[in-house]
Structure 1
């Protein structure tokens, strides 16, 4: 073990030396090295992937058959249970702590393969939420999912804001309110306008139950008004680089159990590398 000699002056002004021994490796490394991937991304081939190119250009990607219908039914039931415990609450935070069934959304294979190609191997969950949009809810305003400015060129060292959201729309029909977005706006160097005035190039997505929508958190987007008599139920799993701070603390009992029994990737997704 290496030691370090530190020279300093004592109260009398005389020079003294102190032998400082480094901390033990276990103290210096508060995480399991097995949780950290050995490569940052999938290599040059990822840049040629059509889904990656589509996402980079448009800022969103629709994934067919991401989850099966049995899972959709189970998630509807789980979310109905949450709604009964929290009447009138539109946004449910810390979704993984609400019901074990929501854990099926953490590592959906069809989603993770695209996310890994786009965001890389070193990612973690930013947040897990649900939105319950009841009948008569008005149009949502245009927004981005973070406060940070955007510059498509970036900065000399580092990267641009990178948060990728995955929406699972469990029962959406046109009159319930579509997912409205402006393709390509994820690299716009200005904030979205106030209100919900239409853009000429905006699109209205009505995903089928079982589909998933990946979208850049800086894409201009909003939810449409629910003009139906039903309830629009959506689960949102949001991902980011593992070295960024998450919105959630992921310190509840259900997440602790997932970390204890999950794979190295599961632990990484749930903040297993909390400091270094």
Structure 2
């Protein structure tokens, strides 16, 4: 356990009194499929997150199923909330709560926390979604899940930045392999729409994981760690892909206002997570 206390002290989020506009949030996520907040966290907070992720990554590489491939030189690692020192500050950040409630409703649940590591030598991923689009989106035209991302380093063009094709969260999965990978004849459309995201330390984004996207090639000599927080609306089933464990001792310290937004399994001691959500189509990179 790396959590050293549940008081923010000098690493608390900035601008906690801000009121965020629901219409702007909805417009961004139902339109482009991705929004962001600059300077949401202090450099000190992000530095601690970076330190924790790098230790957790090395630990995950040493155990079977600890790190799952997302392409050559690229991994995803699912972790426990208390593995990082800043989980409370992240989960209760006013922007995270405002975005979650605006899009997913007041009974939203945090179902996943992990991180993505594109290492030096990572190649372009194929365009994809993170999982098949549910009926809520295909038929009901409603988003029922979000992914929040926080970079722990300033991102530059040569570091394999995240690339997204705005508005494609609504694309029907016609001829999609595994309902996630669009056919190659569609690539020109995504490339025309593509936006490369190069966030800085302290920034946070929120996106629909259904918006067509890819990680690009990392030509630098640096890894690009990105924390992922997954949040569901009632009725979404993404919690089935994950195992959000919380120790009873840690749970007792959490505020009641946060407990109601967690999907979790209470344990006496944390158990190693065996990665269950493998995306086979990403393993070879872009063909």
Taking the aligned partners of 2:251 and 2:146, their CA distance within structure 1 comes to 22
Alpha-carbon deviations, 1:43-94, whole Å to 9, x = none? xxx9962232122111110111121111111111111111232348421112
| Structure 2 residue corresponding to 1:185, chosen from 160, 163, 168 | 168
Q: What is the CA distance between 1:217 and its match in structure 2?
A: 1.5
Alpha-carbon deviations, 1:95-135, whole Å to 9, x = none? 42533344432222222222222222111012111012210
Q: Which runs of 5+ in 2 are unaligned?
A: 1-19, 68-74, 267-287
* Cα pair distance change 1:228/1:212, threshold 3 Å: same
Q: What is the CA distance between 1:209 and its match in structure 2?
A: 1.3
Superposition CA RMSD, Å? 2.8
1:187-226, aligned counterparts within 5 Å? 187-190=170-173, 191=176, 192-194=181-183, 197=187, 199-226=191-218
Does the 8 Å contact 2:77/2:115 carry over to 1?
yes
1:142-181, aligned counterparts within 5 Å? 142-149=127-134, 154-155=139-140, 160=142, 162-171=144-153, 172-181=155-164
Which residue of the partner structure matches residue 49 of structure 2?
Answer: 75
Which residue of the partner structure matches residue 121 of structure 1?
Answer: 106
Does the 8 Å contact 1:119/1:240 carry over to 2?
yes
Does the 8 Å contact 2:143/2:208 carry over to 1?
no
Q: TM-score, normalised by structure 1?
A: 0.72
Does the 8 Å contact 2:166/2:193 carry over to 1?
yes
Farther off after superposition, 124-133 or 78-87:
78-87
Structure 1 or 2, whichever has the larger Rg, is 1
Taking the aligned partners of 1:251 and 1:269, their CA distance within structure 2 comes to 14
* Cα pair distance change 1:250/1:272, threshold 3 Å: closer
Taking the aligned partners of 2:194 and 2:135, their CA distance within structure 1 comes to 20
Q: What is the CA distance between 1:169 and its match in structure 2?
A: 1.2
Which residue of the partner structure matches residue 91 of structure 2?
Answer: 106
Which residue of the partner structure matches residue 237 of structure 1?
Answer: 229
Does the 8 Å contact 1:63/1:111 carry over to 2?
no
* Cα pair distance change 1:47/1:67, threshold 3 Å: closer
* Cα pair distance change 1:103/1:248, threshold 3 Å: farther
| Structure 1 residue corresponding to 2:242, chosen from 228, 244, 248 | 248
* Cα pair distance change 1:84/1:272, threshold 3 Å: closer
| Structure 1 residue corresponding to 2:120, chosen from 130, 135, 155 | 135
Q: What is the CA distance between 1:197 and its match in structure 2?
A: 4.4
Which residue of the partner structure matches residue 23 of structure 1?
Answer: none
Q: What is the CA distance between 1:194 and its match in structure 2?
A: 4.8
After the TM superposition, list the runs of 4 or more consecutive aligned residues in structure 1 that deviate by more than 6 angstroms: none
Q: Which runs of 5+ in 1 are unaligned?
A: 1-45
Q: TM-score, normalised by structure 2?
A: 0.69
Taking the aligned partners of 2:138 and 2:119, their CA distance within structure 1 comes to 40
Does the 8 Å contact 1:151/1:188 carry over to 2?
no
Taking the aligned partners of 1:166 and 1:270, their CA distance within structure 2 comes to 15
Which residue of the partner structure matches residue 72 of structure 2?
Answer: none
